[in-house]
Structure 1
Amino acid sequence: MKNFIFTILLIVIILFNYTSAQELEISLVMDKTNYLKYETIESLAELKNISSQIAIVTEPFNAEISNSGIEILLFDSTGNTMHSIGRTIIHGYLEEQIKLLPKQFLMSFIHVTQSGFGQSIQGSGTRVALENAYLPAGEYKIQLSYTYVSDKVERKIYSNICQFNISKPTEDDLKIINEIREVNGKMFSIPGTKYPESVKTIFNSYPNHVYTLSVYKDFLTTVYQKESDQREYLLKMIEDHPTSFLTLLSVIGCPTISEDFRNIASAQLKEKSELNKTMLEKYENYKKIVNRK
């Protein structure tokens, strides 16, 4: 009987220590499970205080130790860990500490496409750079880890695992992506310039294609475009791609539109996508936390 009571007490102590240490929780959300090769893959991370105490974090996901922050863990269809040719540790731009009250959270976009897990091809030039940026067709699993310091102890937590699939593009798909690359080549050959008028041809010719999403996002989140154009095409993006996180990112990040118009665009997005409605409302709460610091 004494041994039984001792065992129960030991379990309680272990559980208490675990829950005390586990003051933060990280989660990952993707906007869908099926993508096309060369499509931009965007996801969202949420870091939440699940304890009953105030948690001190460094906005948005840094901590007081080297190599801290969020790390992307990617696995292929056989379960093998994929290695990045770039950096998979994501550091925030700000290093100010934020007090997270119980149940409060921070959010960040996770740019899966730009994380260096693409197909490794030897050589140089635009084609090699593009292939290195995109994952080959196949099935994948993705998870996040987060390293931080609590009570001078280094801790690491892991998110849920998301599964997704990348399929091969058709010949028609490749024609569209090549047109987009040509437009981008003109845009980025002269820094600080407006997109050529041909970008509107892509919007009007392929409004519902997933490749057009990245063109929308780049067009809407650069400061050199006309406000009237960005207003028009932001609403068009919401109409054509309401469930995409790239649309959410464009609504949040469009630099030229007024806050009144952003509120109009946000309301339209909330009406058309339950997922983006949830994420946008969380983001609005997140901004209140960040602005409070």
Structure 2
Amino acid sequence: MDTAMKTTIHSDPGRVGKWLRRRSSWSQLLLYIILIVVSLSMIIPFLWMLSASFKSEGEIFGFPIQWIPETFHWSNYAKVWTELPFATYYLNTVKISVLTTLLQIVTCSMAAYAFAKVKFPERDKLFFFYVATMMIPYQVMMIPQFMLMKELHLLNSHWALILLGAFNPFGVFLFRQFYMALPEELSEAARIDGLGEFGIYARIVLPLSRPAIASLIIFTFMHSWNDFLAPLIYLNSDGLFTLQLGMQHFQSEHSTEYGPLMAAAVSAVIPTIIVYFLAQDHFVKGITAGAVKG
């Protein structure tokens, strides 16, 4: 700090305080502007998709963009739900996403409890190698998994997608970090009362894991709902298609009619938004569990 600044601080501390507050205000204003710009860049494509789903083909790419159509073309939604087996695609996707999510909650929470609360030889090394499998690209595992499903006679079946999605190293890591933050005294008191390990997991630890469960539900449901590559590999019959394959099939069959395609996209994104808003209260707690200690 130079001599002039020191002199100013000692001679007029109130002026320095005003300058610091003004500087802090400008920094906050700049931060808010950046956040608003980033938020708009994320939400504008969704708003354009919603607006385009009610427009005719000629209006969709008009410039400047008319966000509110003069005439709402509800026929775009009617065409999607009547000319395609869209309800079948919807139910197939719901079935796969819900079952995959439920199975992941069970398998990940149980495995994480063992890695966090049960002491056995080489536990930490085994956990390290298990979590390290997240570093393996899906393209490397794609062919071995396909051969395994072929041997199990599960090709062209929803169960191929459900079973492959039922285990997730990230989910185990998420639950373990949460369990590590739970006081060990809870488990010790339960053991004194006569509960076994499964009883401690089911009656004490799992009910306390709502933030981790909510976080895993959001990640797993959204990934399963939006997955395109895995259904493309394992599903061949139109009656088994998910929404992603159904929309791709619709696009190839109807020469890219953007109005109905945007209506299908809006219909497809609604469940993920509902799931997020239902679980958002616990989402941040689940993500940050175990991040700060002390």
Q: So what's the TM-score if we normalise by structure 2?
A: 0.25
Larger strand proportion of the pair: 1
Larger helix proportion of the pair: 2
